[in-house]
Structures are given as structure tokens and as C-alpha cells.
Structure 1
Amino acid sequence: MGTDPLTDDELARAETLALTPPGTAARQNADGGRGPQHLATELADPLPGEGETGPAPRRAEVRFYDYARDELLTRTVNLDTGKVERTGVQRGVQPSAHPEELREALELILASPLGKGVKEDYKDATGKELTTTGQLWFNGDVYRTYREANVPEQLARCGEHRCVRLVTKVLNGAWIDTRNLIVDLSARTVVRVG
């Protein structure tokens, strides 16, 4: 065990334990559902002095994003005792986007009037209608306003809000340019840039 990567069972247990404290249900995930959005779970480093006389406890650091409060929530879980040992809350911190957040962003683009061009590009490339996110390959990450020359006013809260930019393409096919569409997942809006 020691510093071995977390097993699938440990990953699942850590997430479950991190969601146990009171108030978790009042938090909100990317699609507006109950509970915070899971971002990542990693093996936590041992505390200073641990492991000198015996094995250090296995801990996991579980990160969530709470869309109800626009907060990054980090909980350190002791996998040996099953207890949450530390909880940290930060605002304005934007770790990389989780695939579930990117899928929700694509759903919002396709539901938006600005998604019309994406649907037209898909039809031009395939001859078929674009009806689900499963018809596209997509990836992306957090939209960082400090990297942009001209940030539209509607995106001024990105960084405080969770905003993402996607790249998309037809499965095994042509690219569909969505880089000019920014999704504010906190406000659930789609904005065209530059």
C-alpha cells in the first residue's frame, strides 16, 4: 500500500466518505443536480513524521466544485479510519475541468442559439443531424480571462465563476470550431468571443 496509487475501490470509498459531512446535499454540480461536482481524487502525502516507525495512514485528497457557491472544496479523507480529517474551501481557484463539466458545457452550447452553427457544421460534414453530445469528440479546459485581449462583459466573472472553452470534432472526422464559444457553467450561459 504505502505510496502505491489509489485503487478503484479506494477512489470510490474516498469520494463517498468526502460526501458524507452535513451540508453536502445543499451543494450543486455542473448540471444543477444535488451535491458538489467531483473533480479529482489523489493520494495525499503523509504528514511530517508519519511512516518513521510504521506505515503511514493512507489518505486521499478529494476535490469538488460547488456551483451553488462557486467554491472549490477539498476534503482529506483518512482511508484507514474512514474520517474526513481536513476540509478546505477556496474561491477564485479554478483547477482543470472534469469531463462531466465539459459534457455539460457541450449540452449548453447545443441548447443555445449559438449552437446553431455547430449543428450546421456537423450536418455539412456528415449529412446527418446533430442531436446528442455522443456524436462529437470533445475536450477543453477552464477559460482563463487573463490570457485574452478582449473579454466580453458577460464573461467578466470567469475565474470567480466556472467557465470553459471546448474543442470539438465529428467522431473520427472533421474538426468543428467551437473555440469562440465560452460557457459560463456557473451562470449556465454561452457567450461568443472575438
Structure 2
Amino acid sequence: MQKRTAAAMVAAVVAMWSLGWMLGSSAGAEDSGAAPVVPRITDPPEAPVPAAGTGRDPLTPTETARARELALAGLADAGPTGPTDVTGAAGPELLAVRRADGDGTARRADVLTYDYRGDKLVKVAVDLTAGRVTGTFTATGMQPPATPREVAAAVDLLWRHDLGELMRERFRQATGAAPATAAELQPGAQTYTGEPCAVHRCVLLLLHRPGEPYVDLTDLVVDLSAGTVVRLP
């Protein structure tokens, strides 16, 4: 019993001595003006994005930019019969840049554009490894999804058209208030290929305001090719 009591006393003395040493060390650090060490956690640095991928890797930003540059350079024609974009400016409307399957020895891309003057889809095949265009293909009646730029143009057309008042009235009926400006609207769209848009590039708009339901506009077709809006029967 006495041995255990003595051992306990020794342990208590050691603990008090250790605590006093720690407090003394801390006080000394404060007196010396040394800043406390604060643990820090840092994110590992992001690995640099390679300029070119391999095999079935997605296109890198560098490859995408290069494919776009090569394709648009080949389509550049500022003449009266050259392609125009959704705003009517010279040059085609860029829709998408996609990796294309190859023979395993070259990185390839397909650049999809739309020529609003001729109302045709234009696909440009690009060999990124060789740095050249390998083919240009056109088609009519094929309508890939609209780009954000095309959707914005469609919203602007509807807003300024006579049928824009009908759109605002539907917002008023559905939500209690009509939008004061087009900037209030959260836009979306899907391409429309029925009559009268069998050839033209047309979209149906999906519009709403944040926190509010979508308003039914499925009978209003925005014809981007003709620059107008048509109401379906």
C-alpha cells in the first residue's frame, strides 16, 4: 500500500513539473514575441493541362481552339455568297467542336457550324496532328441543339416581336407579373423542325424567372433564319 502511495506521489510531482515546464516554455515564447505555429492545410496544385490528348482522351482546350481556328479559316468567305452567323455577320455560326474517331495515329476533330445564309449545317473534319482540314460536308434539315448565343438571339427576337406581348401576358397570368426586361428571364430552347421550319433554323423557347415555373410558349416558334416569330395554329 505504501509503495503504491509513494508511486502515485512521484507521478503527481512529475506531472506538475511537466505542466510547469510547458507553461514556462509558453510564457517564454510569448515574451520573446514569437508567433504561434498554426497548422495549415493546402490544396495540392492542379496538374497542368496538356496541349494535346492521346487516344480517346477528350479534346484539350488547346486542341479545341486549334480545331476551331483551322475550320473557320477554311470557311472564311466575306463575299456576298459567303456564310453568315445568327446575327447576319460574315462567317458561319459555330455550334460545337467534338473529338472524332481516327485510326489511332492522329488526333481528329469535327467542327459543326451553321450557315444562316444558305440554311445548311456544315461539318469540317480537322486532322489536329497534321494541322489541316481534311474535308467539309454540308447537310440541310439537320438541326443540332441551339447554342447559348442562338438562344439569346431568339429571346431578343421574341421580346421585340408583336408576339412578345403575348409572351408577357402569359407571364402575367401565370406568375402575377410580366417581366420588365428580357434580362429577367432564364432562357432555354429546343430546336424545332416541323412546319414551317422544315429547312430554317428554328427554336421553341423555354422561359422562366428564378424561383418561378416555366411559362407555356410551345405555340411560339422563333425562326432564326427569317428573323421572325410564328404562332402555330
Q: Do both share a fold (TM > 0.5)?
A: yes
CA displacement 1:97-152 (0-9 Å, x = unmatched): 222212211110001010012234446637575323x321121211121xxxxx5x
Deviates more, 1:21-30 or 1:11-20: 21-30
Task: Report what 1:7 is aligned to.
Answer: 60
- Greater helix share, 1 or 2? 2
What residue ranges of structure 1 are gaps of 5+ in the alignment?
146-150
Q: Which has the higher strand share?
A: 1
> 1:148 maps to which residue?
none
Query: 2:76 aligned with 1:27, yes or no?
Result: no
Matched, 1:131 2:181: yes
Query: The residue matched to 2:144 in structure 1 has which SS?
Result: coil
Q: Give, in whole Å, the separation in 1 of the partners of 2:180 and 2:108.
A: 44
- The 5 Å alignment of 1:73-152 reads 73-122=122-171, 125=175, 127=177, 129-132=179-182, 134-145=183-194, 151=195
Q: Which runs of 5+ in 2 are unaligned?
A: 1-53
Work out whether residues 93 and 159 of structure 1, in 8 Å CA contact, stay in contact via their aligned partners in 2. Answer: no
Aligned partners of 1:123 and 1:130 also within 8 Å: no
User: How far, CA to CA, are the matches of 2:185 and 2:220 in structure 1?
Assistant: 16
Specify which of 157, 181, 185 is matched with residue 224 of structure 2.
185
Of 35-44 and 87-96, deviating more is: 87-96
Q: Identity percentage over the alignment?
A: 38
Query: What is the TM-score when the length of structure 2 is the normalising length?
Result: 0.69
Aligned to 2:215: 176
- Give SS of 2:203's match: strand
Q: Distance in 2 between matches of 1:141 and 1:118?
A: 17
CA distance in 2, matches of 1:17, 1:23: 10
The two structures, once aligned, show a CA RMSD in angstroms of 1.9
Asked if 2 retains the 8 angstrom alpha-carbon contact of 1:138 and 1:169, the reply is yes
